Structures are given as structure tokens and as C-alpha cells.
């Protein structure tokens, strides 16, 4: 057993050294942060069980990093240590207990909680008020001189000026994190993808596209040409002092942060001083939930003892302070094997490629499939079956393949080619209409399209038939019990009992749910039809303008196009859809079954939101998404899906969309919580 442990320890030392090189020096990691943390955790566990394995060169005793030959070496006068990690609340409590044991029994300990920015640690040195040097952390003792590049970051002062009139220290070393904001990353990523389109058209090999802001930021900072760095939109948060000569004597960490603010250094506004470990855990849990509210990425919380004298007492291990720890959030990115690329066919014939993955736990759940969006995205990302790929799942977002780990690509992997025929039994031709990004199956009798139309019709956004999900639709289709959504209304309990998994009670419940859907409002019925380009907003406008389905079917294209929120494209799509004989047959089946064609609900609420666009993002307590939008529309307002200059307010619930928040902040749009939303609904005005 011990021999196996010794061998595994040696393997881990080699692996960790390799991945540190790929992460810190090369800025092209081959594994996710979470997988790297697992390697270090396994190493520490082995060394705890067998202390004789610990050497001064062990990764547990050294700081991850190093220097490249691109930049000159800088010796840190005060070592830049790393932080030990706590992966859960129990490990955080254990650290807190060690802190208390290391201090006199009557000590009162306050903790500073800081967001752990997912960037690149930086030391910036000022002498007599002038910026003279900036260096990466490197291995903690020796870093890289990146002064010219750091000097291009707009938020970092070139000279020190105190807002309060305080004296400028002879030497001031400021430590913090250089990072790439999310909006800057998205722009840079789009730029690289655009470049690759040009390169691909010219027959050239595509350049790697950055997979996340951290890697993009690290690569941008290490440019030989500082003007390239200047154009990447990098930013900086300061969080610590290094060497200080001729400055004030600080007694607490938070007072040193105030000093940094006084000299115009950016200090994160979400730093809190708390009095107990319970409050530390509460802070960590809050930001784990709200991390996507921020316009930059964080991967945890840094917790530090506030009192500087207590820090002196606690001291350091070989690689990290005993008075600080990093609480790491669960991973949102992992690497795994891309086993295959397959395609799915939607209700309108749109064909979407998706990745079949070796199952991996990421973003709080096991992921075995992930979207690849469309043909262009597969080509731009250049992912191939057999690749090791990075998978991302942030919050409730659908899992996405970010890109391949090119260094791990096996020899001989051929690029994936989009199929030319539909995977359904009919094997219809797949074509890409001019001006569209999606391939489509042109066979109208395609069984995949038929099944998806029925699934969409019964979904919550359509006729909301509880119990009629994908599995049941596939069973009904295979048994030839339904050929279009109209056939749903002729289903009987006896027919359902012939399907696998249906008992009497379940069959009766589904028949009741189907019957109950006959009285759905006209906008729901219109949306459920699945007409191309026709969404809930335009359905609402049509229902209000015409009052019943028959009048909409009898309207001319010009009549339809003049309805506010409809327009020419939707009008043409409606005319085309209603003209098809199979759709007329489907509608008559619904009429015969007693489906209401003119159920237009008239709101009797005060119309205090007329002319106001209110965007809702995230989950609310008293409203589901549909209920929140209905509450706005019932008062005369609109609830679009995106933020613009015309937006009156953005309502934010749990796990909101980061892009909407960033856009609202950029445009100065008011951001409301649920209480503020209730106020707007009641008064039509923003809360004071």
C-alpha cells in the first residue's frame, strides 16, 4: 500500500508541475481549475498520511507559477504567497478553528471577506509616487516583469496622488488581480472568431479562441507588444499591500484598503468585515448564488484575518499564510471526452448539432450532452469526435462545449462534417437556406419534425398539457395514435393504457389535462401552433387585434403586417402556414374537439404601464417567468426579452442573465428587486 502511495505521489508531483506550466506560463491549460484542485487535494491527502513524502520541492510547499523567457525576472522583496483552499463549509470551519487555536484564548477575531477574482495575481511597485515596476507572482519568489503592459491598464494610476492629502510613501507595493471583464472577453472572443472566418475562407488554419476570461486575460497581459495589451480592455482590483517604506502603520487589513482607495486604486466594493465564521459562510453562500450578477468572473471568496498583529502571530506555512484561505465555488467548467457529434431536428426543420460527452459533473449536475448551436460554430470551434473538450455550465444555463484542448488532440482526427441527410427514417435532404445560419430538413413529412411540433404544442409555453412530455409523445407517435397536435384531442383512456408505463389513474389524469387545455387563451393557442417566427409577443398582439383565430386566418397579409409587433416577416409566415392543407386539417380537428378559438382575456387592472418596457431576468419568489410577464402586460406594458435604451426597468431575481445586467448597467437602466417590481406594478412608477 505504501509503495503504491509513493508511486502515486511521484506521479502527482510530475502532473502538477506540468499543469502549472501550462496554466501559469503558457496560458493554455489542458484541464479545468477544478480538476487541477483535485490533483493538489489528492497530493495533500497523501502527504498527510505519509509525512515523509513531503520535501521542500513538493507542490504542497511551493507556489504554482514560474517565469518564462519572454520577460525579465523580478525578485519579490516580500514573497507573494498563494492561499490554501477550502472546498466546502466543513473545511472552512476547520480552518477557522485552527485560526482560533493559534491565538490567545481571549482573542476576538474579525474576518475580511473578499471576492476571489478569476484573474492573474500582480505586484505593482511605486517609488516616490511613480510606477516603476509591475510583476507577476511567478513562483512566489521570482516573477515576470510586465511593467509596460500593466501601465496600459487605465484604472491603474501612473503616479500616486492622495485624495485626502496624505503623504506619498517612499515605496509602495500594491498587490491585486489583473482580469478581463466579461464584456471585454465577449468582444475579444467575437473578434477572434471573426478573424478565423477570414482565415478559414483563405484556407488558413484557425487560431485558438480563448475559452474563458481568465485565460484571455493572462494571454493578453503577456503580449510582447504592450499596444496589443492596451486594446484588450483589462482591469484591476487591488486587495493587499506588499513592501511599504515611509507609509503609515496599519493595524488592520480594512484600514490598508482604505489607504489604497485614498490613492485611487480600485478596491472591490463587495468586501465585507464580519465577526464570525457563520457570517463568513453566509457571505460565501450569497456570492456562490449571485456570482453571475457581476460583470467579471469570480471562482470563490478569499477570507482573511483582519487584525494585522494577529496575522503576525499566526504566521505562514511554506507556501501560504495561516491567516487566510480561499473558499472555492463548485466548478462551472470541466474537461471531458467528446464521444460523438449528432444532430437533432426541431419542429420547423431546423437541424441543431449537439455533443455526446463522457459524463462529467459540472455546474451542479452530471452532463452527458451539450449544445453546439449550428454548423458555423462547430467549424469555428473546430471540435472533433475524440477530442478532449472544455464544457461549461454556468448556473441554469444549457451546457455548452466551449472548445477543444488542442494539446490533447489525438493524431489523425478529421474535422466533423455536417450530414447531408436527416437522421429520421425518411432520410430527407438537409439544406441551408440562403442567409440563414441553420441547416434545415426540407421534408415536411419528417417524423422528427412532427414529434417536435406535438411536443411544442403541449409544452408549458403552448397549450400547457401536464403529463404530455417528450417520452409520451414519442410513444404515441410510435403507436400511430397521433399524426399532428390535433389528434391529441381524440385520445382515449383505453388507447393510453396500451402504452408502456400507463396505468388507469395516469391515463385518466392525462385525458382530463388534455380536455382542460381546450379553454386556453387565444395567445397561447397561437403560440402553440408553432408557426415560424411567431412568438408569444406577436401572438398576444394578434389576439388583441383580431379577437379570434378565424379572423386571423381570413386576414390579408397587409392586415396582419400592420398589427403593432407583427410586421411583414411574421405576416408572410402566417399566410404561408394557414395555406397548407395539412394545417387546415389540423385546425379543423381542434374545432371539432371543442378547442376555443376566441378566448381573449381582457384585463381589468389599471393600465399604468402603457408605453413601458420592463425586462425580467432570473427567478422571482411570487411570480414564475410567465406570471411576471403577464402581470406587466395586464397593466398595458411590454416585457421584451432583451435590454435596450427603451427599457423602463430591469427586474432581477435569483440567477439572472449576466448579459442583461451588464447591458442595463451600461445604459443606466434602473435595476429592481422583487419588492421594487411590486411597487412598479401597483403605481406604474419607480420606487424612490
* Average of per-residue pLDDT across 81-107: 91
* Average of per-residue pLDDT across 192-221: 80
DSSP for 401-445? EEEE-GGGPPTTPPPP---SB-SSTT-PBEE--TT-SSEEE--TT
CA distances for 467 relative to 172, 453, 502, 506, angstroms = 66, 16, 11, 9
Which of 3-12, 418-427, 514-523 has maximum average pLDDT?
Answer: 514-523
Q: Please name the residues in contact with 404: beta carbons below 8 A apart, sequence gap of 6 or more.
A: 338, 381, 382, 383, 384, 387, 388, 389, 390
Cα four-point dihedral sign 638, 642, 645, 651 = positive
Look at 338-352, 356-370, 492-506 and tell me which has the smallest mean pLDDT. Answer: 356-370
Residue 195: exposure state from Cβ atoms within 10 A (0-12, 13-18, ≥19) = middle
Residues 196 and 337 in one domain: no
What pLDDT score does 134 carry? 94
* Average of per-residue pLDDT across 375-382: 85
* Average of per-residue pLDDT across 492-507: 93
Does residue 440 form part of some domain?
no
Does residue 69 form part of some domain?
no
The range of the structural domain enclosing residue 665 comes to: 613-683
* Average of per-residue pLDDT across 358-386: 86
Instruction: Decide: 589 and 541 in contact? Cβ < 8 Å.
Output: no
* Average of per-residue pLDDT across 320-342: 90
Residues 137 and 201 in one domain: yes
What residues form DSSP beta bridges with 480? none
CATH number at residue 358: 2.40.50.140
Look at 23-27, 100-104, 379-383, 607-611 and tell me which has the smallest mean pLDDT. Answer: 23-27
* Strand arrangement of the beta sheet that strand 111-117 belongs to: 85-86, 324-328, 298-305, 111-117, 272-274
Does residue 22 form part of some domain?
yes
Residues 151 and 297 in one domain: yes
User: Considering 307, 328, 349, which residue would you say is the last residue of a domain?
Assistant: 328
Helix and strand totals (H; E) in the chain: 24, 21
Does residue 66 form part of some domain?
no
Residues 10 and 100 in one domain: no
Q: Is the pTM of this model over 0.95?
A: no
Residues 98 and 179 in one domain: yes
* Average of per-residue pLDDT across 295-321: 92
CATH number at residue 259: 3.30.470.30
Residues 393 and 367 in one domain: yes
Q: Which residue has the higher pLDDT, 497 or 375?
A: 497
Look at 52-56, 142-146, 310-314, 603-607 and tell me which has the smallest mean pLDDT. Answer: 52-56
> CA 22: distance to chain centroid?
24
Cite the active site residues: 116
Does residue 598 form part of some domain?
no
Q: Return the closest-CA partner of residue 161 out of 38, 78, 39, 262.
A: 262
Record the cell numbers describing residue 649, joined without a space.
Answer: 426597468
Percent of the chain with pLDDT over 70: 96
Does residue 232 form part of some domain?
yes
User: What integer best gives the mean pLDDT of the chain?
Assistant: 88
Q: Please name the residues in contact with 487: beta carbons below 8 A apart, sequence gap of 6 or more.
A: 481, 589
621: confidence class by pLDDT, cuts 50, 70, 90: confident
Does residue 602 form part of some domain?
no
CA 416 to CA 378: how far, in whole Å? 8
Look at 232-246, 378-392, 594-608 and tell me which has the smallest mean pLDDT. Answer: 594-608
Where do we find the cell 472591490?
A: 268
Record the cell numbers describing residue 65, joined without a space.
Answer: 507559477
Asked whether the predicted pLDDT for residue 672 surpasses 70, the reply is: yes
Structural element, H or E, at residue 245: strand 235-245
Angle in degrees, 0-180, between the axes of helices 33-49 and 2-20, rounded to the nearest 10? 150
User: Considering 328, 348, 376, which residue would you say is the last residue of a domain?
Assistant: 328
Percent of the chain with pLDDT over 90: 51
What pLDDT score does 146 carry? 92
CATH number at residue 620: 3.40.50.10190
Residues 54 and 184 in one domain: no
Work out whether strand 350-362 and strand 365-371 pair parallel, antiparallel, or are unpaired.
Answer: antiparallel
Torsion angle of C-alpha atoms 13, 137, 102, 249, degrees rounded to 10: 170
Residues 156 and 272 in one domain: yes
Residues 48 and 127 in one domain: no
Which of 7-16, 176-185, 660-669 has maximum average pLDDT?
Answer: 176-185
CA distances for 194 relative to 157, 201, 403, 436, angstroms = 33, 11, 16, 17
Look at 102-116, 234-248, 602-616 and tell me which has the smallest mean pLDDT. Answer: 602-616
User: Considering 431, 463, 495, which residue would you say is the last residue of a domain?
Assistant: 431
CATH number at residue 45: 1.10.287.610
Does residue 451 form part of some domain?
yes
What pLDDT score does 584 carry? 94
CA 180 to CA 186: how far, in whole Å? 10
Asked whether the predicted pLDDT for residue 66 surpasses 60, the reply is: no
Domain count, the chain: 5
What pLDDT score does 130 carry? 94
Residues 559 and 617 in one domain: no
* Average of per-residue pLDDT across 320-346: 90
Residues 189 and 276 in one domain: yes
Residues 296 and 385 in one domain: no
Amino acid at each position: 500500500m505504501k509503495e503504491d502511495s509513493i508511486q502515486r505521489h511521484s506521479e502527482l508531483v510530475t502532473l502538477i508541475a506540468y499543469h502549472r506550466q501550462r496554466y501559469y506560463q503558457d496560458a493554455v491549460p489542458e484541464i479545468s481549475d477544478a480538476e487541477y484542485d483535485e490533483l493538489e487535494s489528492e497530493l495533500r491527502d497523501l502527504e498527510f498520511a505519509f509525512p515523509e513524502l513531503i520535501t521542500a520541492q513538493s507542490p504542497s510547499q511551493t507556489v504554482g507559477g514560474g517565469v518564462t523567457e519572454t520577460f525579465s525576472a523580478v525578485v519579490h522583496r516580500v514573497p507573494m504567497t498563494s492561499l490554501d483552499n477550502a472546498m466546502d463549509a466543513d473545511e472552512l470551519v476547520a480552518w477557522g478553528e485552527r485560526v482560533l487555536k493559534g491565538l490567545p484564548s481571549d482573542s476576538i477575531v474579525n474576518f475580511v471577506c473578499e471576492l476571489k477574482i478569476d484573474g492573474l495575481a500582480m505586484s505593482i511597485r511605486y517609488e516616490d509616487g511613480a510606477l516603476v515596476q509591475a510583476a507577476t507572482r511567478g513562483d512566489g519568489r521570482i516573477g515576470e516583469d510586465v511593467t509596460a503592459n500593466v501601465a496600459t491598464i487605465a484604472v491603474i494610476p501612473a503616479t500616486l496622488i492622495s485624495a485626502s492629502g496624505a503623504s506619498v510613501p517612499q515605496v509602495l507595493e500594491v498587490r491585486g488581480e489583473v482580469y478581463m471583464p466579461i464584456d471585454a472577453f465577449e468582444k475579444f472572443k467575437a473578434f477572434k472568431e471573426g478573424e478565423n472566418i477570414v482565415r478559414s475562407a483563405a484556407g488558413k488554419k484557425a487560431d485558438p479562441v480563448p475559452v474563458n476570461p481568465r485565460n484571455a486575460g493572462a494571454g493578453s497581459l503577456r503580449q510582447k507588444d504592450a499596444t496589443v495589451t492596451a486594446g484588450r480592455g483589462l482591469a484591476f482590483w487591488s486587495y493587499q499591500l506588499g513592501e511599504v517604506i515611509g507609509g503609515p502603520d496599519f493595524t488592520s487589513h480594512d484600514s490598508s484598503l482604505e489607504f489604497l482607495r485614498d490613492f485611487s486604486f480600485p478596491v472591490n466594493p463587495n468586501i465585507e468585515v464580519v465577526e464570525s465564521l457563520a457570517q463568513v459562510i453566509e457571505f460565501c453562500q450569497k456570492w456562490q448564488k449571485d456570482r453571475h450578477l457581476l460583470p467579471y468572473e469570480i471562482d470563490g471568496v478569499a477570507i482573511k484575518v483582519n487584525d494585522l498583529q494577529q496575522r503576525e502571530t499566526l504566521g505562514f506555512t511554506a507556501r501560504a499564510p495561516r491567516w487566510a484561505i480561499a473558499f472555492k465555488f463548485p466548478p462551472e467548467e470541466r474537461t471531458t471526452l467528446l464521444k460523438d457529434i449528432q444532430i437533432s431536428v426541431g419542429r420547423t426543420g431546423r437541424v441543431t448539432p449537439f455533443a455526446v460527452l463522457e459524463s462529467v459533473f459540472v455546474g451542479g449536475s452530471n452532463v452527458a450532452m451539450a449544445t453546439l448551436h449550428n454548423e458555423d460554430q462547430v467549424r469555428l470551434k473546430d471540435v472533433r469526435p475524440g477530442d478532449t473538450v472544455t464544457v461549461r455550465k454556468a448556473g441554469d444555463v444549457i451546457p455548452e462545449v466551449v472548445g477543444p484542448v488542442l494539446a490533447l488532440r489525438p493524431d489523425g482526427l478529421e474535422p466533423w462534417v455536417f450530414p447531408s441527410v436527416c437522421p429520421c427514417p425518411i432520410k430527407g435532404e438537409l439544406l441551408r437556406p440562403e442567409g440563414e445560419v441553420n441547416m434545415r430538413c426540407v421534408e415536411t413529412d419528417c417524423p422528427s419534425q412532427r414529434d417536435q411540433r406535438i411536443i411544442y404544442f403541449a409544452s408549458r409555453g403552448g397549450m400547457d398539457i401536464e403529463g404530455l412530455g417528450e417520452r409520451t409523445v414519442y410513444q404515441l407517435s410510435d403507436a400511430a395514435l397521433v399524426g399532428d397536435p390535433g389528434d391529441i384531442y381524440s385520445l382515449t383512456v383505453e388507447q393510453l393504457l396500451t402504452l408502456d408505463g400507463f396505468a388507469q389513474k395516469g391515463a385518466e389524469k392525462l385525458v382530463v389535462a388534455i380536455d382542460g387545455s381546450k379553454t386556453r387563451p387565444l395567445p397561447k393557442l397561437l403560440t402553440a401552433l408553432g408557426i415560424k417566427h411567431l412568438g408569444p409577443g406577436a401572438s398576444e398582439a394578434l389576439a388583441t387585434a383580431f379577437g379570434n383565430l378565424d379572423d386571423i386566418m381570413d386576414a390579408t397579409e397587409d392586415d396582419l403586417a400592420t398589427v403593432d409587433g407583427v410586421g411583414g416577416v411574421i405576416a408572410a409566415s402566417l399566410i404561408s402556414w394557414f395555406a397548407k392543407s395539412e394545417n387546415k386539417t389540423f385546425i379543423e380537428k381542434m374545432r371539432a374537439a371543442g378547442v376555443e378559438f376566441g378566448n381573449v382575456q381582457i384585463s381589468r387592472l389599471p393600465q399604468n404601464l402603457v408605453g413601458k418596457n420592463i425586462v425580467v431576468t432570473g427567478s422571482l419568489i411570487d411570480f414564475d417567468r410567465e406570471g411576471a410577464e403577464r402581470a406587466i402586460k395586464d397593466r398595458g406594458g411590454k416585457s421584451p426579452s432583451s435590454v435596450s435604451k427603451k427599457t423602463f426597468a430591469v427586474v432581477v431575481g435569483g440567477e439572472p442573465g449576466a448579459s442583461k445586467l451588464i447591458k442595463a448597467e451600461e445604459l443606466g437602466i434602473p435595476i429592481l428587486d422583487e419588492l421594487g417590481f411590486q411597487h412598479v406594478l401597483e403605481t406604474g412608477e419607480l420606487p424612490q
